[in-house]
A and B are shown apart, each in its own frame.
Chain A
Amino acid sequence: MESCNCIEPQWPPDDLLMKYQYISDFFIALAYFSIPLELIYFVKKSAVFPYRWVLVQFGAFIVLCGATHLINLWTFTVHSRTVASVMTTAKVLTAAVSCITALMLVHIIPDLLSVKTRELFLKNKAAELDREMGLIRTQEETGRHVRMLTHEIRSTLDRHTILKTTLVELGRTLALEECALWMPTRTGLELQLSYTLRQQNPVGYTVPIHHPVINQVFSSNRAVKISPNCPVARLRPAGKYMPGEVVAVRVPLLHLSNFHINDWPELSTKRYALMVLMLPSDSARQWHVHELELVEVVADQVAVALSHAAILEESMRARDLLMEQNVALDLARREAETAIRARNDFLAVMNHEMRTPMHAIIALSSLLQETELTPEQRLMVETILKSSNLLATLINDVLDLSRLEDGSLQLDLGTFNLYAVFREVLNLIKPIASVKKLHVSLNLAPDLPEYAIGDEKRLMQTILNIVGNAVKFSKEGSISITAFVAKLDTLRDSKAPEFLPVLSDNHFYLRVQVKDSGSGINPLDIPKLFTKFAQNQSTGTRNSGGSGLGLAICKRFVNLMEGHIWIESEGLGKGCTAILIVKLGMAERVNESKLPYMPKMPTNHGQTAFPGLKVLVMDENGVSRMVTKGLLLHLGCDVTMVGSSDECLRLVSHEHKVVFMDICVPGIDSYGITIRIHEKFTKRHERPLLVALTGNTDKVKKENCMRAGMDGLILKPVSLDKMRSVLTDLLEHRVFFEAI
């Protein structure tokens, strides 16, 4: 053997074992070198790796181990000392690094393990959150279902639709096999099957209400699981299948009587219906909590919807009733109107029909009076006249009253002599009073104005009626009539709260008191006096005569005159006093002396009937102007012609006695001229008479003429005779309106 510095291996290199070791070492080296490479590669790829230096350390350890094994390869054959030293170095280094690594790992491995536990913890947490999320979602869905159900239920106000919809929607939402509603019967002792989901016609099953299960359900407001064998749950024909779970819930039925204004419905006297829900049979489904909650909420909503429906039904019924009443009232009103109209028509006809013959009778009787009659005949004719006058008065009274009631009567206001009215009444009543040996006295206050503005005729009628009554109902004694201007304090009467007199400058209140010492009136009868047709029968006067209309008419007239009338009496046999207050206008002192006019000429056909009568003719039309002028000239008048209103106003003077105006020309304001002429001549006796000539026969025009202040109206064409008679009439009466 040469002595070299080589080291021989223990074993011969050709040994099989040696071969296998050699190969294994090779592979180990390979693996050891590739592991760090892989590590580096993957770490570079990954973003997060907290232990880089550990990696470096580990890498170094592995590389060195690999190197060791690699170098070991060379030791299988004869190798030099260098190789051996390298080998040794490598081994030493490897040992060092390995120890360090081992020491490091003691710190690192717990850390790594803790990461693992955290991961596990997070996974558990995630699973838990998932579970909760599932729960929330189911709850939300339930809420949605409830809202939808509620909406469906509340979208209608019809009872049946509400209940049907409830069942349908519940069935759909919860995928029920059967859903049924049991309503309490009228007696309240049984529950009757009213609505079901699947079966179309619920047969009238009834179940007594006092069943323990039912009581249990009614006693709580929660949905209760009940046994499928319970009588209310036996809704499906018994089959071989396992029935699903059944739940029942109560539905409160609220009635209107349950709602009081101040207190809420009492819970003790509530009636309930029962809602039964059945899950599909043969399924493993169970009732979940959220489903039960859903059912409870729905049951409440149904109760509210039913109460709304009940209220609506009530109000609709009330409205129908009101409408019926309305129709009936309308009909009654129309009937009343028809009746009134019929009465008015009747009265209008009768007015004319009655007055015409009366007129004939009265006229002819008075004519007959003028002729030669024997005393007996005269007496007969006088009786006829008196009776027909009475009848005429009665007719007038009735018609007046009806017109008064319609409000169509208007007062004819005019200036009149107040003293004359009273004198007239006295004159009329004196004969009758003297026959009955009654003494009548008239007392007019000194401050009573002589003239007044009012309706003379109706005032006289009223006073006459009252005085007449006084005379009628007195058998003996005296009657005193006093009249004076009422002062404010005397105007107020406690018996007439509506009578509120208002004093103003141009009006005064006339107070007339008629006191008699006759039979008097029972104070209780006084209110009835002024009602129509009510005769005071207790006085026992057979010859009272007349209808009971007098006082009623008087009252109406007095009301129209804004006054008041009443009767005071202390009792039977103590006489009575009638007091009348009316509002009259103050009149200025008017000189009523007759104006000088042409002495009445006998109606001869002489040509100069009106010598020198100055007249003014205003006519735009030349031809008709000439014709009128010719007419008047022929009659001897002194005619001035004008063709326009300005000329007319300029030339008219107090010398002209009559002014003829053609008013049918458009463009001439004849009413304006009339007013201006009135203004020009303030003194009545200076003003010429204004006469309108017109070719139209228009009632409205005639009224307008009268209202404007014209004294006459003549229709064209005017013949000579007509003109003559018109002028005669005009100058005598100072007014002539041709009848249209």
Chain B
Amino acid sequence: MDVVNQLQRQFIDYSASLHREGFLDDQFTQLQKLQDDNSPDFVVEVASLFFEDCEKLINNMARALEQQQGVDFRQVDASVHQLKGSSSSIGAMRVKDVCVAFRSFCEAQNREGCLRCLQQVTHEYSLLKNKLQTLFRLQQQILAAGGSIPVVE
């Protein structure tokens, strides 16, 4: 019991910290609400889909921006748009913010700015991935210990 309580408290603190630091926002909470007996791994599934998507998009963008002659900004912009959509659907606030800045650089056709934003996005994404993986591990530990995942408001 103690272990479960401890784990649960850890989970709550960690969740709160993620929200506080701006990694996640309200949308993530909504997603968590959708998780029920019919779809117990809803959040994890959505998160994995998000990670896959992210990696694909980041690779696309890196390749497009590496072109020495004539960067296709429209393609980059399309990818950023997708990324922004995905991140806002999952509640990845920081990633979404970088995407907003990224889009304005795309519109201005500023290659340097885009490269910088891409770096930032990659950074934020890897941070988020780590944090979420930690969170999910905590969840699994709680479940393994026989407890239930506390609902964080």
Contact = CB atoms under 8 A, between A and B. Distances in A.
Contact of B90 (A607, A627, A664): A627
B98 to A, nearest CB: 16
Given A607-B36, A633-B38, A620 B82 contact: yes
Interface in A615-639: 620-624, 626-628, 630-631, 633-634
B45 interface: yes
A630 B34 contact: yes
A634 B40 CA distance: 12
Interface string A650-681: 00000000000010111100000000000000
Contacts of B78: 666-667
Contacts of A317: none
B14 interface: no
B85 A630 contact: no
B34 A720 contact: yes
A668 to B, nearest CB: 11
A327 to B, nearest CB: 47
Interface in B77-99: 78, 81-82, 84-91
Interface string A600-626: 000000010000000000001111101
Contacts of B38: 633
Contacts of B81: 664-666
A695 B100 CA distance: 12
B42 A622 contact: no
Contacts, number: 72
8 contacts: A623-B85, A623-B90, A634-B34, A662-B85, A664-B85, A665-B82, A695-B85, A720-B34
A636 to B, nearest CB: 10
B141 interface: no
A622 B84 CA distance: 12
Contacts of A504: none
- 9 closest A-B pairs by CB: A624-B89, A623-B86, A621-B85, A627-B89, A630-B34, A623-B89, A634-B34, A623-B50, A717-B27
B86 A622 contact: yes
Contacts of B39: 630, 633
The winner among A624, A630, A662, A665 for most chain B CB atoms within 10 A is: A630
Given A623-B90, A627-B90, A717-B89, 9 more contacts: A621-B89, A622-B86, A623-B89, A628-B89, A634-B33, A634-B36, A665-B81, A717-B27, A719-B30
Contacts of A720: 30, 33-34
Nearest to A695: B88
Contact of A622 (B26, B34, B53): B53
Contacts of A623: 46, 49-50, 53, 85-87, 89-90
Contact of B49 (A622, A628, A662, A666): A622
A23 B90 CA distance: 166
B132 interface: no
Nearest to B42: A630
A487 interface: no
B138 interface: no
A144 interface: no
A237 B27 CA distance: 115
Nearest to A723: B30
Interface residues of B, number: 26
Contacts of A123: none
Contact of A630 (B31, B50, B86): B31
A333 B84 CA distance: 53
Interface of B: 26-27, 30-31, 33-34, 36, 38-39, 42, 45-46, 49-50, 53, 78, 81-82, 84-91
A716 interface: yes
Interface string A711-724: 00000110110000
Interface of A: 607, 620-624, 626-628, 630-631, 633-634, 662, 664-667, 695, 716-717, 719-720
B95 to A, nearest CB: 11
Nearest to B54: A623
Nearest to A667: B78
Contacts of B31: 627, 630
Nearest to B51: A623
Contacts of B46: 623, 626-627, 630
Contact of B34 (A620, A621, A631, A695): A631
A666 B30 CA distance: 27
A519 to B, nearest CB: 68
A610 to B, nearest CB: 15
A522 to B, nearest CB: 69
Contacts of B26: 717, 719
Contacts of A631: 30, 34
A616 B78 CA distance: 24
Contacts of B27: 627, 717
Contacts of A630: 31, 34, 39, 42, 46
Nearest to B84: A695
Contacts of A624: 85-86, 88-89
Contacts of B88: 624, 695, 716-717
Contacts of B33: 634, 720
A271 to B, nearest CB: 80
Given A630-B31, A634-B34, A719-B30, A621 B86 contact: yes
A664 B85 CA distance: 9
B49 to A, nearest CB: 6
B53 to A, nearest CB: 6
A634 B84 CA distance: 24
A607 B33 CA distance: 11
B43 to A, nearest CB: 9
B53 A626 contact: no
Contacts of A633: 34, 38-39
A622 B55 CA distance: 13
Contacts of A717: 26-27, 30, 88-89, 91
Contacts of A667: 78
Nearest to A634: B34
A628 B85 CA distance: 12
B147 to A, nearest CB: 23
Contacts of B85: 621, 623-624, 662, 664-665, 695
The winner among B36, B45, B46 for most chain A CB atoms within 10 A is: B46
A620 to B, nearest CB: 7
B61 to A, nearest CB: 15
Contacts of A634: 33-34, 36
A628 B90 CA distance: 11
A113 to B, nearest CB: 116
